[in-house]
Structures are given as C-alpha cells and as structure tokens.
Amino acid sequence: MFTDPKFAKKLHLNDITILSFEVMFKLITYVFAIPLFSLAEHLTMKLTGYQYLSAENLGTFFSHPLFILCILLFILSLSLYCLFEISAVIYNMHKALYNEKTDVFHTALYGCRQIQSVLFSRGNRKLLPVILLMIPFLCFGLFPAFASNLLVKELILSKLRKKPYLLPGLCIVIGTLLVFFLQLMFTCQIMMLEKVPAREACRRSLKLGKTHRRKDFSAFLKTQIVCYIAYALLLGIAILLAVLLDKILMPMRLVNSISTAVMLTISNVSFCLFASWTMPVCCICIGALYYQHKEDNGEELPDSRVVDCVTFSPFLHRFSKVKSHFSKGLFVICILICSLYVYMTYKGRLNPSIEYVHQTEITAHRGASRYFPENTMAAIKGAMEQGADWIELDIHQSSDGVLFVMHDDNLYRTCRVKGLCWNYTWEELSRMDAGNAFSNSFKGEPIPRLSDVIDYAIKNGLRLNIELKPSSFETGMEKRLVDLLEEKAFINDCVVTSQKYLSISKIKEYNPDITTVYVMGYAYGNVDRLKAADHFSINMSSVSRPLVSRIHNAGKQVFVWTVNSRTYIEDMMEKNVDNIITNDVLLAKKIVGEMHTSSAFYEYIKLLHRLFSFG
C-alpha cells in the first residue's frame, strides 16, 4: 500500500490544512514570542544585576541561579512548543491515511490534548527528554546558517583556537546524539497512535527501525538537502531581482541601496520560511518512514479513531462554529503585528543588548555628505533614501538664539561668507547659500533650522544624532536644545552628542531622560566612568576590542567615526562596535548586509551576481 503512488496522494490530502496551521502557528509564535522574549531578557538582566552581556562576563552570567531557572523554564516551554507542532503533523497525516479531511481548529485541539497528556500523565512526561533530543536534528538545517554568520563564527572559532581538543569531542557528542535520534525518532508517532506510555514507545521505536537505520538516515539527510536547495533558489531570485534593479536604476545614486535592500529583504524572508518549515517537513519525513516500516514489518496500523479530538467543553464546541471568521481575523491581526515587529527591528528598537547578536547601525555623517552638501536638508533627505539608521548633524546658535545646522564656526567653507556664524541673526543666515560650494547643481540650498529638521524627522520616522558645538559666544545652547526636544516630543528618537563633557553634563541636568554621547578623538583607560555619558563616540584609530568590551560591560554603546572605506568598516564590525558614522552610507549598508548574511550563502550571492551582471 505505502509503495503505491495512490498512498502518496493520500498523505497530501491535508497539505492545505498543515500549511494553514503552520502559517497561523508561526505568526502567533512571532506575535507572542518576541515581546515575551524581550520582557524575559530585560527582567532577567535587571534581577541578575547585569547591564550588558559580552564575551567577558558570559560565564558568570550563565552560572547565575536565576539564569539557570530561566533556562529550565525555556527548555520546558520549547519542548511543549515542539510537541504541539509534531502532534499537528501526526494528526493530519494519520487522518489523510484514512482519506479524512481535517481543519486547523481540530488540529490545534489535538495538539492541546497531547500537551495535556504529557503534562498530567507521569508515564508520558518521559517524552519531553526525547523531544529535546530530537529538536537539534529536526532543526538541523538552521545551525549552519547561524554558525556561518560572521559574529557567531568569530565566537566559535575563537573558542576552538584556544581549545582545539573541543572539536573532536564535539563531533563525538553529535555522532552519539545522532545514533540515539535515529533509534528514538518514531517515539512520538508510536505514543500518540498506538496509545502506549513514553517508555514503551521508546522501546517500540528501537525495534521498529532496527533494520532500517541507514535508510532512515539517508531519507532524513535528503530532506534537509531539499530544504537547503529551496532556500538557495529563493536567494537566487533575490540576486536576480537585485541585478535587474542595478540595470534599470543605474543612473540613480541609490541603485546600490535599493538592490541591496531587495536582496536582504528576500534573503531574510527566505530564511524565515526556511526556519518555519524545517521542523514540519522533517516530521512529515519521519511520519512517512513510520508508516513504511509498519508495512514492511507486516504490522497492523492504528485506525483513524485514535486521533479523534474530544471537545473539552460546550464553549469550545460553540466556538468551533465561528472558527473560520475567528481564524481570518486572527490571521490579519498577526500579520499587522509581525509587520510592526519588522519595522521596529529595522529601526533598531528590538535589538537585544547582547554583544554577539546586536545589529551594527549606520549613521550618515552630516547627512549623505558624499553625494550632497553637508548638513543641509538635501543631505538629510538623501541619507533617509539611502537607508541610514541615524543621521548625524552639527548645530550652532545664531546671535538671536535660533539653533541651526552647521559644522564650522566660520561660514566660508560651506557658504563662501567670511564671518563667524554666531555673529549673524537667523534671518541673515537663512538667506545664505549652503549648497553652491559643494556643486552648482545645489545652488540655493539654504542652511536648515534645527526645528525644521526635527519636524522632517518626526514626519519620516528618522532618528537624529545632534552634536553640540558650543563656544563662549553661544551661551544657553544646551537649555534651548532641551526645550526644543521637549516641545517637539523628540527625546526618544535622538541622541545629543558633544566633544565638550560640560555640555552633555548640562543636558543631563536639564533632562536626565535625554540620551547623551561623549565624542572623543582619543580614548584610553576607564572612559566608561564618565557618568554623564550614556554612550561614547570614538575616533576609529582609538577603537580596540578590549575597549569596546569594557564599554559594553558598563551597559553603554560605542559609536565610531568617521569610517569611509571597506577595510575600516569591516574592521569596526569585527570589533563589534554598535554604530558606524560614515560619509558613505551606501557602502556601509552594503557591507553590513554582507557581513550579517550567512557567509556561505553570500559567496553564492556573489557568484550569481557575477553570472547575471551581463558584463
């Protein structure tokens, strides 16, 4: 029966139900897991007294009793989560075997019943260690993708260099676990379909696959390879689209930014799909092998009634009548929330404060100053279009107390006016040309007022790095800036920086909620002890890995300036800085995308780009 093509068609009877269930299940997971994980992270860090995690303090943090308790709770939750998903696949496959259609509601109901059975039956609780053993192999396809990430790979390789004997030991452990996995891989099917306790299910699993180990391993390996090929094909589509955009948009300055954004978006979506479907696809493979072995051994299959769902209450029975409308509404809500998470992640609001997993952000130095006149609205708009995470700008104060955007004290370099900026009123400054000195095409570009820049940032969701450059002639700048930020309700979307420690100290006195950054041309020693500075902006020549780790351990971030070449950008990322300030946003965003994409697949990306670039 199982070698008959008709049987294969039977197993596909409930594919739509499995697909619908997985989409809903994964969406709900993302909706609830992200805020719960964020809450657990912040709560654990707060209760344990840690402000920041890095390579230096991970050991003591991992040995903290509260962290161990959290890990145990996480392991239990992960086991039940995977049990729920495995149960869904088993339920749909077994119903399909007897030509019976299923739906998402009863699939979820069956999964809940299995969780109840495992939690409240002492004999079935022994299934949880088996599921824990299975998880790494059911999700094995994810590990190479994570391990080839630059920062993760750096951590792994650094440990192996210090202790090379760990590699053969690790291989032995993985090989041993694989043997146990192949012996116990049918435990869930046997326990749920044959209605036996977990211990007996383990014993029957050993017996069922005893003569098929090599065949089972081969089938399982092929399943993983097929998943990887599908993932690679989706990445190939991303590169083809990026190359096509390169050709269409070649005259535009934004071509690299757009094509890189398309590539990374499809790459991330592909990985999410890959991550979401690795486990159910592997479970389907195991289920098919279970039925095949039962046939080969001449054993009778359990009938379809063993997976019938019992409605727990009259409420659930009534609820099932409106499940279709409820499911559609829940689906829409989950999509909206997941979209919000994507936006917040893009804006850097969901980055966990852990050294090895944070995303390096890019700040446009004086706006997109390589392509536009610095510190102008044109440069700010250009930086936004190029995808900068932050926009850095410098401010001075006019003689009549108006804050405006300008780097130099002297107006000659950018405006071709011989004079110091604080000697002019805002009305006089507003008539000056800040663009013609850069290029004739920007003739007439005015000096922007800070309040107008903030209005534009609020409208477009931008974050600003506002650097104070006060002199003895510009008194009261700090208070005016704080008043403006409070008036515009922009405190949470900016940082205030200065090379003068007194200035950021004043900012903290006026409003301690404003994030301050101390700008340092040279850094040495315990700079993290400067209490008025929430973070530090350091010249790249002074940045070292020990300095970054020390600042991270103090719960503070490292901004580095001004980094404009590929070599230096890659070097700063390897030193794990938090924010790179650059004149070339396009180059920096491209390098960040490359280095945060799995290196194996990035080599594949470069190959496709060469093949389809058409010279």
| Closest C-alpha to 447, from 350, 375, 383, 390 | 375
Specify whether the CB–CB gap between 138 and 335 falls below 8 A. no
Active-site pick, 106, 396, 407, 552: 407
Q: Where are the alpha helices (DSSP H) in 250-320?
A: 255-296, 314-319
- What's the rounded Cα separation, in Å, for the pair 42 and 50? 10
Pairing of the two strands 464-468 and 494-498 = parallel
- What's the rounded Cα separation, in Å, for the pair 576 and 571? 9
396 noted as active-site residue: no
Amino acid residing at 45: M
Residue 255 burial by Cβ neighbours in a 10 Å radius (0-12, 13-18, 19+): middle
Specify whether the CB–CB gap between 362 and 373 falls below 8 A. no
* E runs forming strands in 137-193: none
| Closest C-alpha to 464, from 369, 563, 367, 373 | 367
453 Cβ contact partners less than 8 Å away, ≥ 6 residues apart:
377, 380, 393, 405, 464
Specify whether the CB–CB gap between 56 and 547 falls below 8 A. no
Task: Find where tokens 């379809």 sit.
Answer: 304
DSSP three-state, residue 285: helix
Active-site pick, 94, 106, 293, 365: 365
365 noted as active-site residue: yes
| Closest C-alpha to 242, from 220, 229, 257 | 257
Residue-by-residue DSSP string for 350-410: S--SBTTTPPPEEEEETTTTTTS-TTSHHHHHHHHHTT-SEEEEEEEE-TTS-EEE-S-SB
Residue-by-residue DSSP string for 314-339: HHHHHHGGGHHHHHHHHHHHHHHHHH
Burial 428-453 (b: 16+ CB within 10 A, else e): ebeebbbbbbbeeebeebbbbbbeeb
Q: State the catalytic residues.
A: 365, 407
